[in-house]
Amino acid sequence: MLASVLLAGIPKELAVFSIAMLPVSELRGAIPYGLLTEPKLSVARTYILAVLGNFVPVIPILLFLEPVSKFLRRVPILDRLLTWFFARTRRRGTLVEKYEAIGLTLFVAIPLPVTGAWTGAIMAFLFGIRFKWAAVCISLGIMIAGVVVTLASLGMINLWHFAT
């Protein structure tokens, strides 16, 4: 309901695409929004918009995280913050560390909090996965997560209709 108020007047397609780009919601928030709020989008349209929107931040993160982090590390407080953040992210990346590209795909494919494209792109940087492999693995993970979230959302719709 809050999303409907905040996104009032924005075309639904743009809202789904934009929600999928955000680091916290990603497609885990975009797909339910597209399928569950009025006017509802088709399953295919919602899935495609959410997957594409979720992939948009991946390329800049993969390309620019290293130079930006090197620049920011020149400031002591930012260096400490990045050291903490990267260490915390690395601890969550045992799957990626152990299985590399396949682990990255699986990590991104799991639609849980602190998994997804944003964290996957950061992990690809931290574990030294080459750009091409990282982009492919993250996009596959996004597509798998999109299927899982779509099926879960459709299940919620069916449960809602059954209950009412």
DSSP 95-163: HHHHHHHHHHHHHHHS-STT-SHHHHHHHHHHTT--HHHHHHHHHHHHHHHHHHHHHHHHHHHHHHHHH
Give the pLDDT confidence score for residue 39 in this predicted structure: 86
Number of residues in the chain? 164
Question: For the chain, which residues score pLDDT lower than 50?
Answer: 1
Give the pLDDT confidence score for residue 6 in this predicted structure: 66
Residue spans of the domains in the chain: they are: 2-163
Give the pLDDT confidence score for residue 158 in this predicted structure: 67
CB 54, CB 20: distance < 8 Å: yes
Give the pLDDT confidence score for residue 131 in this predicted structure: 96
pLDDT digits 0-9 by tens, 39-76: 889 999 999 999 999 999 999 999 999 999 999 999 99
Residue 21: both structure tokens together: 């780009």
CA angle 73, 79, 81 (to 5 degrees): 135
- pTM beyond 0.75: the answer is yes
Give the pLDDT confidence score for residue 109 in this predicted structure: 96
Give the pLDDT confidence score for residue 160 in this predicted structure: 67
Per-residue burial over 114-145, b = 16 or more CB atoms within 10 Å of its CB, e = otherwise: ebbbbbbbbbbbbbebeeeebbebbbbbbbbb
Give the pLDDT confidence score for residue 145 in this predicted structure: 97
